Structure 1
């Protein structure tokens, strides 16, 4: 049973603010005080994914999160060429908007992992200031990523058709397969996720957003080099049950990252922060407290 309080989507939406990014309305949220912590959500969902962790983390840090361009309640321009590089630009613009002028900590998931990797590369280039980075399940190394059918369809020549046909049933069929056996989302949670995808005619841009799977492969060497040489403390918290980027991704992480700091949650799927938020919170706070035994793969 999850003892952390849920923030209902209606309440979450009421607490959001809006800022302009290149003429597009971006919904964002801030809370708490202390060192800034930037939360980066995954595909095809939105920042509401963090709602179990939002209040507990806000007791320790100044939280900043947005629905990225094309996601959630932010603008979803239909003819736009979406890019992970632009999403990294968006994060930097958001940090400037809320007047963060100190190094920022990052907690990322899925699509957000790729944005975080670009921010690490910019840190290495002297164009960003990242204090630490914690990744949840995501395609950090494309060679260890196993796309689900809908992802393959969205980046195919018929991607536009797959996007138009995307429905709540498509979401349910795709998402429930990548959760742990005992941590699948409720019908209410699925309704809320579908509401965020549908917002601003979001299904019409899913195939354009899904091109991140291709972009991720193109930028793999830049991003992996940044992870290896940026000099930023990192941790990888991985739901091992995830068929998309579960334990195989963790194994690859340990092969490529020197003195890798990893946490394996064996029975958890692709969404550790909603499936096992108490464990994720515990491991995140331990990381931030400096309790990071190098080169050990923790379980639990």
Structure 2
């Protein structure tokens, strides 16, 4: 691992979730802010905006089961619902009763499930407001890449563990804007996170969350369509999965949509344009608090 990843791991903690060790970082002071990362990496996705966030908020950033520095059981049935359970358990473990959320990619669907549970009146820590980054908020306009489709298919059992590092880097290149590409060193860091503790063995299993999105589309979309909590979408428009076309659908279905478009950015706004991402996110949260 690089020194940056080692430092990130060294500053974190672990908690037990159903007999599995879950890694998380917590730092800062102020109102609680939960960061929900995407697939297939981990909380290190937030490292470029971490300093800005922790200067203003009490930030909690876990790694989901099967990713990053958390355990990766090979026979586990990974699902959006299980990921939501883990985040809720961590918040209860830390004694947090109310919180805001910044979510990306898979993380947006996890938060949609948490919102659906709150709509049903389940006793949870109270989710107050959300900033969504790029992710499949509405399944009908989500466009997974070929490699993701293959990993979700029966072939994923074979292809997942043997996916070459070069193929991961190529997939990343597709997802970033032409002017906001990762350096080779940055891409290698993410590949190292993916491979940590045998991550490629379970990557195809974790990636099946897209099937949950399809099966439970209406459940996940309902809180957004009803404007259940204050929400903002910060969208990298050049993302082939969930770019400008997703922002258009969001504007169609969400009442009084609050959208910040990033025209030259791809799928990872927090890595590609950290200043243009963290500024609107913190402004939104500050406005809700006031």
Partners of 1:159 and 1:28 in 2: CA distance: 28
Partners of 2:66 and 2:286 in 1: CA distance: 35
Tell me the SS of whatever aligns to 2:198.
Answer: helix
Match of 1:221 in 2: 218
Give the CA deviation at 1:230.
Answer: 5.6
Question: What is the 5 A alignment of 1:213-292?
Answer: 213-229=210-226, 231-290=228-287
Match of 2:181 in 1: 184
Within the alignment, does 1:157 sit opposite 2:148 as a pair?
A: no
Quick check: 1:166–1:203 contact (8 Å CA) kept in 2? yes
Quick check: 1:123–1:230 contact (8 Å CA) kept in 2? no
Partners of 1:207 and 1:58 in 2: CA distance: 33
Within the alignment, does 1:124 sit opposite 2:119 as a pair?
A: yes
Quick check: 1:124–1:229 contact (8 Å CA) kept in 2? no
Partners of 1:228 and 1:250 in 2: CA distance: 14
Partners of 2:69 and 2:249 in 1: CA distance: 34
Give the CA deviation at 1:167.
Answer: 2.2
Match of 2:165 in 1: 168
Quick check: 2:227–2:254 contact (8 Å CA) kept in 1? no
Tell me the SS of whatever aligns to 1:236.
Answer: strand
Match of 1:67 in 2: 63
Question: What is the 5 A alignment of 1:108-147?
Answer: 108-127=103-122, 128=124, 129-147=126-144
Partners of 1:225 and 1:174 in 2: CA distance: 31
Give the CA deviation at 1:13.
Answer: 1.1
Give the CA deviation at 1:30.
Answer: 0.1
TM-score (norm 2): 0.95
Tell me the SS of whatever aligns to 2:64.
Answer: coil
Give the CA deviation at 1:161.
Answer: 1.1
Quick check: 2:231–2:258 contact (8 Å CA) kept in 1? yes
Q: Which runs of 5+ in 2 are unaligned?
A: none
Within the alignment, does 1:87 sit opposite 2:86 as a pair?
A: no
Partners of 1:108 and 1:152 in 2: CA distance: 22
**Aligned-residue RMSD, C-alpha:** 1.2
Tell me the SS of whatever aligns to 1:226.
Answer: helix
Quick check: 1:121–1:230 contact (8 Å CA) kept in 2? no
Q: 1:21 to 1:31 in 2, by over 3 A?
A: same
Partners of 2:270 and 2:121 in 1: CA distance: 31
Runs of 4+ in structure 1 off by over 2 angstroms are: 228-231
TM-score (norm 1): 0.92
Match of 2:204 in 1: 207
Partners of 2:275 and 2:118 in 1: CA distance: 30
Match of 2:31 in 1: 35
Match of 2:190 in 1: 193
Give the CA deviation at 1:37.
Answer: 0.3
Match of 1:296 in 2: none
